[in-house]
Every structure is written in C-alpha cells, then in structure tokens.
Structure 1
Amino acid sequence: MLPKPSSRKHRMTGEKELQITAFLNLMVVLIPFLLITAVFARMTAIELTVPPETKTTSPKQQESRDTPPPVFSLVISIMEDEISIINIDTTLGAFKKDAKGFYDFHGMTKLLQNLKQEFPEEKSATILSSPSVQYKILVETIDAVREGFPDISLDEL
C-alpha cells in the first residue's frame, strides 16, 4: 500500500498581507522626534557675515579718494588675557581676566551701549579672535556685541 501524499505539498497558499504595523509605529515616533530636533538645530545657529575683502592701497591712493575714511569702525579683539574694543586706531576699552579667569562682559556691554548711543546708525562690528581663545568666550563676546551691533564679522587675530 502506498503512503498517503503529504497535505503540505497540496495546501492552497493565499496571498500574504504585508505586516507594516511595526514600520508605522517607528514612523509615528521618528517623525515628531526629527521635527523637534530640527527646530532646536535652527535655534542654536549663529548668523555671521564674512569680512569684506580689502585691497591694500598706498597712502597717495588713499588721499586721492573722494570719500573720507569711515568715522566709526568697531573692532573687538579677543586675546588670551584681555578683550579690547577698538575704533580705527583708538583703544576705547580693555577688559582683562579677573582672578577667577572671567572677563567683565557686563562692563563691556555698558561700553558698547554707550558707543551705540554715540553712533546709532552703525550696525557692524568685527571680532578678531586668537586661535587659542575658548569657544565659550567667543560666543559670550558675540552675544554681548550683537545687542547693539547685529552685523558681526569674525576673523582671526
């Protein structure tokens, strides 16, 4: 007698449905997470302008120009032990580190507010930083300067 044929071989297989429940659960969690982090990434960005390219001119060429040199050009110089605020060739203020290693950002903000009152139309400032200056100090300086002078350019000292 012959054995009975296997029922597995002859079983009718229907179309299988895709199991997308796990994928949908992942999307429900992932999409809000990505949207929230994208907002925070945009909020922490600091918008700065690149300093304009300057061409060196001889003193004779400088005198022959019809336009006078700018009256006010704010430069903030950040070095290891002090922050200097300079207008063209004049140092307007210097803020050294205190005993704890902190700069006087409150005093610097007051000086910048006084400069803004003297020159209300001025909006630009250039920050020159030594490569060894900590990032935290650079950001605190940018925050202090931005209150009165929103167009900030960064350059290396």
Structure 2
Amino acid sequence: MVVLVPFLLITAVFSRITIMELSLPAGEGNNDSKKPQVTIEVIVRAKGLEISNGKQVLARFPLLKKEEAGVVADEEGYLDVSQLYDLELLSDYLVKIKTKYPKKTDALVLMEPDIEYRVLIRIMDSVRSSFIRQKGEEGEADILQQVVLFPDISIGDAP
C-alpha cells in the first residue's frame, strides 16, 4: 500500500504532461543544391516579435498595450505577458510566407534570455499552425479552417 499511493500520484502527474516535438537543426554538410534555401526565423524579444530570413529583419510586431490585449493581473498580481505578443499579426504574416513557399516546413524560433516559457509555447503554436476564416456562402456561417504552417520547429538563442 505504501508503494502504491506514490506510484499512482506519479502516473497521474505524467498523464497531464504534453510533449511538444522539436527538430534539431541539420549540420552544415555538403549541400549540392545551388538553389538558395529560405530561412524563416521568428525572433522573440522583450519588446516584441521580429520575422527574419537569416540576413535581415522582414517584419517587426511590437507588444500590444495592456488595454488592447485585455490583459489584467490575477489575484496574486501576476500579469500574463504572453498575451501581449501580437500572435494574430504573426500568423497572418506566416500564412503569406507559406503561400509563397508552400513546401517549406521548418522554422526557427529564437528567444532572448528571460522570456517566459509560456511565451515560447504560444509562439510555437502560432508558428506550427493557424486558423483561416473563409467566408461562407450567402446565408451560411463562415468556415474556420486550421492550416499547417511550419511544423518542424527548432529553437535557439536570439542574436
């Protein structure tokens, strides 16, 4: 009985853990293709988001104001900073990139130090997939469709 109770508690905790798969970046080997590879980097900074191609910043999305995001502190005074990042703009921009490069499946999420783990998870969810609203025909409701964007995500430190 003494062994059974801790075992049941441990298995109950493990059943609630979700695993997010990451892909490790490939080594710099001999790449015979002469076609330039497209790199998509989502850089998470304390002041907002940046999308880069590895050489230059393509877009910047500053943090939303607390009033715009509707963020309020909880009972303990904790403010969920992850809601201040404009994930809707990020998703829209990534959808445009995906339409331009439909075979591209990998992306890098680069983070500055001291960015909360919750922010990383929300950014990874936005990079992995997005919801697109399609107008329904006359008299019908709009259709909400989930689109896979860049499921092969690698993480690293921001430059």
Provide TM-score, normalisation by structure 2. 0.64
Separation in structure 1 between the aligned mates of residue 121 and residue 102 of structure 2, nearest angstrom: 24
Identical pairs, percent: 25
Q: Does 1:108 align with 2:86?
A: no
Give the helix-richer structure, 1 or 2.
1
What's the counterpart of residue 63 of structure 2?
Answer: 97
Task: Describe the shift of the 1:36–1:124 C-alpha distance in structure 2 as closer, same or farther (beyond 3 A).
Answer: same
Q: 1:40 aligns with which of 12, 16, 34?
A: 16
SS in 2 for 1:141: helix
Task: Describe the shift of the 1:134–1:146 C-alpha distance in structure 2 as closer, same or farther (beyond 3 A).
Answer: same
Cα offset, 1:131, TM superposition:
0.9
How does 1:64-103 map onto structure 2 within 5 Å? 67-68=33-34, 70-100=36-66, 102-103=84-85
Unaligned runs of 5+ in 1: 1-22, 56-64
Give the strand-richer structure, 1 or 2.
2
Unaligned runs of 5+ in 2: 67-80, 130-148
RMSD across aligned positions (CA)? 2.7
Provide TM-score, normalisation by structure 1. 0.65
Count how many residue pairs are aligned between Structure 1 and Structure 2: 123
